[in-house]
Amino acid sequence: KAMMVPALDIGGAILLGTVLGFGMTYLIRFADTKKRLSVIVLGIILLCIGMAKILNISSILANMIMGFVVTNRIRPNENAFEVIDEIDEIIFAMFFTLAGAHFDLGVMKEAGILSLLIVAGRCSGKYIGARIGATVSHAPTVIKKYLGFGLFPKAGVTVGLALLAKQHLVFSGTGIGNIMISAILTSVIINELIAPPLTKYALIKSGETTEVK
């Protein structure tokens, strides 16, 4: 039973996202104006969220699968998500503002230590894992040395999944949920401070880009 519930959740989200993804791919062919395209895209995204809520499955995973299907099914001259590109900054701002509203300073003593452990464990795991993978696959030395640094960035999906986890009955109304959210938000803030410089360093050292002075 413990394995069945998450399996049904993931399977249901994949099925819902796939069905709506094919549906969106079909409907956007009839959008002859940007206004109609925006109605179709935003409408199906909201439909996906609503159906996921009704079915009690992950709306984040369902929308990710839907986006994957649409991106790989649309014609080369179609850009289904261009209407979202124009307002994505507003969406991101709203998302992180709502996430920040769950930040509880009262549990920062516990959450602060946990966030440092999250950052240290995640970064070391990414770097060591990348080196091991590069060694096993006999990848070039430059990949072995610098790929791990390029895997550090994270943000939106992590926060979204944490917010969904907090809504679960196990964490609902408990201090564990507040500590979890505060720790993850703090780890995201720390990560956003250290990851970009390290990613830039990796890109320059690996020869993938050049530093602009």
Alpha-carbon gap, residue 45 to 74, rounded angstroms: 16
Q: Do 82 and 109 belong together in one domain?
A: no
Residue 147 domain flag: yes
Mean pLDDT of 115-129: 90
Residue 213 domain flag: no
Helix (H) or strand (E) holding 47: helix 34-55
Domain membership of residue 37 as a residue range: 4-86
pLDDT digits over 4-24, tens only?
767 788 899 899 999 999 999
Question: How many structural domains is the chain composed of?
Answer: 2
Question: pTM (2 decimals)?
Answer: 0.62
Q: What percent of the chain has pLDDT over 90?
A: 16
Residue 50 is predicted with a pLDDT of 93
* Range with the largest mean pLDDT of 31-35, 139-143, 205-209: 139-143
Q: Do 191 and 113 belong together in one domain?
A: yes
pLDDT digits over 140-194, tens only?
888 888 888 888 877 666 776 676 666 665 555 556 767 777 788 888 888 888 8
Between helices 156-166 and 59-73, what is the axis angle to 10°?
Answer: 140
Q: Do 64 and 153 belong together in one domain?
A: no
Residue 111 domain flag: yes
